[in-house]
A and B are shown apart, each in its own frame.
Chain A
């Protein structure tokens, strides 16, 4: 069952990832990215990250992608004009090389990783919101506070950049 769910959602993630790269229209790419994020949230849940799976759905697939789609619609971004003259040979060679590279990486991961027991759903239950918060607010308190400063700077930067007279 765990393997079946993994195969289904990994397949959706890879399909949507290829679709993100292959589509010419930004809206189609954005929807593909939402598909990748949703299926990755399922895999996070399988790995025992309950809180992070929900955060993935709410923060990534919810907030960040809404921001992307808002900007795409605001700028009325249409399909990508194929102004460049790219040879068909180079394109297929690139796809072939990417596939060969990924195959090589997969082989290296498969060959060098020590053989441990596989992932079983429910074997790691440390990812609850209670555990997560306890760890975040004790051991990682300083990074958490620094992050709040980072977000403040990002807000100020976004406001300054998006002002009219820049």
Chain B
């Protein structure tokens, strides 16, 4: 077993988590789970930023991931308020039932 971890392992982990996030976003039908899949994708991107921050020995990548966190917090607040409003008007959380803008 190597004592140091190759950089590519971190990037591959990030790609796997992002792929799982995309799969959950497409496959799941509960609007809250879809939203959580988006958070998973944001986390995967943060891991890439911090990996390259280590590779380049510069802190800027970590600051970018900090901004991603802040934007994710704002997005979660607004998104969950939208989910609350949708539930109040429709009494459902399934995205198949919220399709009045289709066609």
Contacts and interface: CB of A to CB of B under 8 A. Distances in A.
Interface of A: 1-4, 6, 10, 13-14, 17-18, 20-21, 26, 29-30, 33, 36-37, 40, 43-44, 46-49, 51-52, 55-56, 59-60, 63-64, 67-68, 71-72, 74-75, 77, 80-81, 83-84, 94, 98, 101-102, 105-106, 109-110, 113, 116-120, 123-124, 126-127, 131-132, 135-136, 139-140, 143, 147, 150-151, 153-155, 157-159, 161-162, 166
Given A52-B66, A77-B30, A17 B20 contact: yes
B3 interface: yes
Given A17-B17, A151-B70, 8 more contacts: A14-B13, A20-B40, A44-B50, A48-B54, A72-B32, A101-B19, A154-B75, A162-B84
* Interface size range of chain B in the complex: 35 or more
Interface centre among A46, A60, A147 (most CB of B within 10 A): A60
A94 B13 contact: no
Given A109-B11, A126-B59, A67 B5 contact: no
B85 A166 contact: yes
Interface of B: 1-13, 15-17, 19-21, 23-24, 27-30, 32-33, 35-37, 39-40, 43, 46-47, 50-51, 53-55, 57-60, 62-63, 65-67, 69-78, 80-85, 87-88, 93-94, 96
A157 B16 contact: no
A136 B67 CA distance: 10
Contacts of A127: 53, 59, 62
